[in-house]
Chains A and B, each alone.
Chain A
Amino acid sequence: MSVREYLMPRSVPEAIGLLERHGQDLLVMAGGTVAMPLINDGISLPERVMSLRHAGLDRLERQGDVLAIGAAVTLSQLLAQDTVPLLREAAAHTASWSIRNMGTVGGNLFTPPPGGDVAVALLALDAQVRLAGPRGERVLPLADFFTGFMTTGLAPDELLVEITVPLAARDTAFLKLGRKHSNTPAVVTVAVALERRDGRVGAARIALGAAGPHPIRAASAEAALTGAMLDAAVIRQAAQAAAAECQPFTDGIATEWYRRRMVGVFVQRALETL
């Protein structure tokens, strides 16, 4: 272990100041469930590590028409809220109790696939992320935050400080297929949010996990649903579109072929619950 300093800033401005001073030498860590295994194994050898646990980012509260989630809110806190049922379900299907007590919502956005189940639900809910840096703050749609495998729109001198979820009326579903009953990495994760308009589907959002380099939206499947009556034929069409457009991968959990098949099956099942 070669860490020279473990920094615990007490506020966001202090954290941004430390990030500015130490730049790329500083590893930013929240719950540690992704960073610590790499440090313990000597794969990651940071000189300085900054903990975000004490920077005042652990509040989860309703603010007008959004649910504001501090970046360091734990998955257990997310499981305890009932303002957004889809997020509760996503948290329930993520890791184990001890890990949920440590892992954070912000950290989940940096967890490489097949992890990042909460991020999939947030994507379906049209969440936004608030980024803070030395020049001030900016807000990005979560869909634009993900840029590639383990890369994001976060600038090197910025911190993810908050995730906001609009509290619109919508029907939602969350389904995860794993190799075990619980505490299991995803074969695929599917989150769906539909807004209804005059008996038809208004806005449709389908998000997929373990089906691309980061949580992705299934745009063609969404297009197949928008404006349509949600009947068996339309559901099948959307499921086929999602299977065709996703970009799954092969790892120790499942093959690309199997994941693509399961995207179709689980998008169909998720839509059938609505």
Chain B
Amino acid sequence: MASTIVTFELGDREVEVMVRPMTTLQTVLRYQLGQTAVKEGCRQGGCGSCTVLVDGEPVMSCLLPVEEVAGRRVDTLETAMPTDGSDPLQQAFIEQGAFQCGYCTPGMLMVSRALLDHDPHPSRETIIDTLAGNVCRCTGYAPITAAVQAAARAGKDGQPR
């Protein structure tokens, strides 16, 4: 069970981790690199609470052996958004009351960010389809959908357009 070294970009920072074969990206991010926004939910790819971006595309980090991200860019909530909650998308979540317990929120924010990066003005239908991989047991999804709609209206700089 020889350990291997994997190098990848975490946000703008190059990181190097020593791992046992097939350790998941989720485990590495949360327990070795302190990215505690990456939740350990179902570990089945069913809840979306571990969602991160690999080269800008959302993936379930619990299903991805860390060896697969060698040389690639990984973004977590910590690297993608400010910790003071000042990003327009975070503000929209706060204003719309788009969370209660908060466990799903990092995953919801990551997939919503990826959606708005791909499609700045998604339809409500597209937003609902996009959030379908992320489970929330508190809100009933309506405030989260409204938050993504509000953030889309506000644009990336938070200014209405």
A-B contact pairs, 30 of them (CB 8 A): A1-B20, A1-B23, A3-B20, A3-B22, A6-B21, A6-B65, A8-B67, A31-B63, A33-B45, A33-B60, A36-B45, A37-B45, A40-B24, A40-B63, A41-B44, A51-B67, A51-B68, A76-B57, A96-B132, A97-B130, A98-B51, A98-B59, A98-B60, A101-B58, A102-B59, A102-B63, A180-B132, A182-B129, A182-B132, A183-B133
A5 to B, closest residue via Cβ? B21
Are A40 and B62 closer than 8 Å at their CB atoms?
Answer: yes
* Interface residue ranges of A66-116 to B (CB < 8 Å): 76, 95-99, 101-102
Q: Is A32 an interface residue (CB 8 A)?
A: yes
Interface size, A (range): 20 to 34
- CB-CB nearest in chain A for B131: A96
In the assembled complex, B128 has its CB within 8 A of some CB on chain A: yes
Taking CB atoms, residues of chain A closer than 8 Å to B74 are: none
Report how far A96 CA is from B110 CA in the complex, Å: 14
Of the listed residues B22, B44, B51, B133, the one surrounded by the most CB atoms of chain A closer than 10 A to its CB is B22
- In order of increasing CB-CB distance, the 4 nearest A-B pairs are A96-B133, A183-B132, A37-B44, A36-B63
**B116 interface residue, CB < 8 Å from A?**
no
B residues touching A (Cβ–Cβ < 8 Å)?
Answer: 1-2, 4, 20-24, 43-46, 48, 51, 57-60, 62-65, 67-68, 111, 114-115, 128-130, 132-134
A10 to chain B, nearest CB (A): 13
CA distance A102 to B46 in the complex (A): 13
State the CA gap A4–B21 with chains docked (Å).
6
Q: Nearest chain A CB to B55's CB is how many angstroms away?
A: 10
Please name all residues of chain B whose beta carbon is closer than 8 Å to the beta carbon of A98 when the two chains form the complex. Answer: 45, 48, 51, 58-60, 111, 133
User: A32 touches which one: B20, B23, B63, B111 (CB < 8 A)?
Assistant: B63
Residues from chain A with a CB closer than 8 A to the CB of B111 are 97-98
Which B residues are CB-close (under 8 A) to A101? 57-59
Q: Give the residues in chain B near A3, CB-CB below 8 Å.
A: 1, 20-22
Q: Given B65, B129, B133, which contacts A51 in the complex, CB threshold below 8 Å? A: B65
Interface of A is mostly: loop
Q: Do the beta carbons of B59 and A40 come within 8 Å of each other?
A: no
Q: Which of A6, A31, A49, A181 has the most CB of B within 10 A?
A: A6
A99 and B65 in contact, given A39-B22, A49-B22, A181-B128 (Cβ under 8 angstroms) = no
CA distance A4 to B62 in the complex (A): 19
Cross-chain contact A97 with B65 (CB below 8 angstroms): no
Q: Does A217 contact B (CB under 8 A)?
A: no
- For the complex, give the distance between the alpha carbons of A39 and B44 in Å: 9
Closest to B67 in A: A6
Indicate whether A236 reaches chain B with its CB closer than 8 angstroms.
no
Contact B23 A99 (CB under 8 A): no
